[in-house]
Chain A
Amino acid sequence: KNEVEQSPQNLTAQEGEFITINCSYSVGISALHWLQQHPGGGIVSLFMLSSGKKKHGRLIATINIQEKHSSLHITASHPRDSAVYICAEGSQGNLIFGKGTKLSVKP
């Protein structure tokens, strides 16, 4: 059974800092998802990737298939980036989720 581990569990940053959140998984995957859960509870999909790198605004997601590792980077962080970031892998059709990384960006 694939397991998804995220680090760190909690992260506090100052506005403007560069943020990195890590995700490791244990078996080969077909797609790696990054999601954001807002303080109000809503969940939105940020990225889905199976190789290389994707960028959307200040967010960048990378994946290393050989090392079974993905990272989510946030450049020039802002208090509105405060949320829980969740990684999930989809090797068997359904998603297996990590426990999330709670990010707090202070002004």
Chain B
Amino acid sequence: NAGVTQTPKFRILKIGQSMTLQCAQDMNHNYMYWYRQDPGMGLKLIYYSVGAGITDKGEVPNGYNVSRSTTEDFPLRLELAAPSQTSVYFCASSLQAYNEQFFGPGTRLTVL
């Protein structure tokens, strides 16, 4: 099993550009999450999904969109990138709520 995979590992965007961060898991987990990690701060939840076709906002959703068309994939879309979106993004999954979460390797995004 590959676990949770994320692409790309690194990306530099210009202000106003758009991109999609990819996340996939092969553990048949129901729950998937997107977090951002800023220096000196705890991980913050951007969006989460409890199953295919169901998504909900987390603590910091502004400037992002998600979709969950399959159990395996949970892409995160950035529209009109801003310098405030410079961060490290982690995708995670768990079988159910309150279960152990498995994390992807992260994507380091810089917006200039």
Contact = CB atoms under 8 A, between A and B. Distances in A.
Contacts of B58: 94
Interface in A42-100: 42-45, 48, 86, 88, 90, 93-100
A55 to B, nearest CB: 16
Please classify how large the interface on chain B is, using the bins under 10, 10 to 19, 20 to 34, 35 or more. Answer: 20 to 34
B53 interface: no
Nearest to A100: B42
Contacts of A31: 98
B88 A41 contact: yes
Please classify how large the interface on chain A is, using the bins under 10, 10 to 19, 20 to 34, 35 or more. Answer: 20 to 34
A102 to B, nearest CB: 10
B106 A41 contact: yes
A35 B103 CA distance: 10
A103 to B, nearest CB: 16
Determine the main DSSP class of B at the interface with A.
Answer: loop
Contacts of B74: none
A43 B90 contact: yes
Contacts of A48: 99-100
A57 B103 CA distance: 22
A100 B44 CA distance: 13
B99 A94 contact: no
B64 interface: no
Contacts of B92: 43
B86 interface: no
Contacts of A90: 97-98
Interface of A: 4, 30-31, 33, 35, 41-45, 48, 86, 88, 90, 93-100
Q: When A and B form their complex, which 5 residue pairs have the shortest distance between CB atoms, in order from nearest?
A: A97-B42, A43-B103, A93-B97, A97-B43, A45-B100
27 contacts: A30-B98, A33-B100, A35-B103, A41-B88, A41-B106, A41-B108, A42-B103, A42-B105, A43-B92, A43-B103, A44-B103, A45-B103, A48-B100, A86-B42, A86-B43, A88-B42, A90-B97, A90-B98, A94-B33, A94-B45, A94-B48, A94-B97, A95-B43, A95-B101, A96-B42, A99-B40, A100-B42
